[in-house]
Amino acid sequence: MPDPTLLEMAIESAGRRLTRPRRAVAALIDARDGAFSAADLVADARGQRLGIGRATIFRAIELLAEIGALERIDLPTGDHAYVPCGPAHHHHVVCRRCSRSVEIGDLGLAALARDIARKTGYRIDEHRLELFGLCPDCRRVGAPA
């Protein structure tokens, strides 16, 4: 197994077993380069006749999300998708056509959250910012939708 991927290393350094099915799921995710749904991975696995069980794929996604190598985002449609990402606090910009996403840093949001906390009296524990649009490639190629 040359060239252990980032996802594989993340699993290992989290002290979880690096099993064949998990490697396979990691490979599927790497092959995707963008946000994907659980159903996408299930379809990919079936298409490649990997003998990966449906439940295993969901469990692998759950695991990767737990260790912070994956994050669930909520599409404007209400569907769930997942994006691979690093451990630091950040947010995502997702292309609504090709699903490629980039991470962006905090960008002053923490300060904004504090501001909101002060104004509303709420204690803010958690926030989520998601941005959707067209990536540079899709802007060029497609109609400006």
| Selected binder of a second copy within 49, 55, 136, 143 (CB under 8 A) | 136
- Select 11 or 85, whichever has its Cβ closest to DNA: 11
To a second copy, the closest distance from the beta carbon of 34 in angstroms equals 13
- Residue 98 binds which one of a second copy, DNA, none, with CB within 5 to 8 A depending on kind? none
To a second copy, the closest distance from the beta carbon of 99 in angstroms equals 12
Q: What is the DSSP string of 38-68?
A: HHHHHHHHHHTT----HHHHHHHHHHHHHTT
To DNA, the closest distance from the beta carbon of 29 in angstroms equals 14
Please state the separation of Cα 38 from the chain's center in Å.
11
**Nearest-angstrom CA–CA distance, 42 and 82:** 13
